[in-house]
Amino acid sequence: EAQVTQNPRYLITVTGKKLTVTCSQNMNHEYMSWYRQDPGLGLRQIYYSMNVEVTDKGDVPEGYKVSRKEKRNFPLILESPSPNQTSLYFCASSLSQQSAGNNQPQHFGDGTRLSIL
């Protein structure tokens, strides 16, 4: 089954304690992205990756890091979490923008709810 898998689904932690949210896709997609969802603001892009070893900032990258060492995995790292990073996070993937001349719809994971105390 084609899917995007995020772990953990829920996490409560404290300010300053480094954490990593993993994301894995089994569709051989080149493009992967992280979003955060906050009430009334919709989803905002944090970072994205066009392919292995190619990452770039989205609209709200401050306080986050990512890596793309393998095609299937795109972890989100919070080196020193703060309460304003309490949010619902989504990982998404899609085929490369260069395929088929069409914009390929993104497949989303089920989300990770982070609470930073």
Partner 1 sequence: AQSVTQLDSQVPVFEEAPVELRCNYSSSVSVYLFWYVQYPNQGLQLLLKYLSGSTLVKGINGFEAEFNKSQTSFHLRKPSVHISDTAEYFCAVSAKAAGNKLTFGGGTRVLVKP
Closest CA to 19 of 106, 79, 92: 79
State in angstroms the smallest separation of the CB of 82 from partner 1: 23
Choosing from 13, 22, 55, 104, the residue that interacts with partner 1 (CB under 8 A) is: 104
Residues 6 or more apart in contact with residue 74 via CB below 8 angstroms: 23, 24, 25, 32, 33, 34, 49, 66, 67, 68, 91, 93
Reported in sequence order, the residue ranges of 1-117 that DSSP labels E, i.e. its strands, are: 4-7, 10-13, 19-25, 31-38, 42-51, 54-57, 65-66, 76-78, 87-94, 107-108, 112-116
Q: Quick one: 3 or 82, whose CB is closer to partner 1?
A: 3
Q: Interface with partner 1 by CB under 8 A: which range of 20-28, 63-71, 77-85, 91-99?
A: 91-99
State in angstroms the smallest separation of the CB of 16 from partner 1: 29
- Taking the C-alpha atoms of residue 36 and residue 6, their distance in angstroms, rounded to an integer, is 13
Site string for partner 1, 25-64 (x = CB under 8 A): ------x-x-x----xxxxxx--x-x-------x------
State in angstroms the smallest separation of the CB of 115 from partner 1: 15
**Which chain residues interact with partner 1 by CB under 8 A?**
4, 31, 33, 35, 40-45, 48, 50, 58, 90, 92, 94, 97, 102-106, 108-111
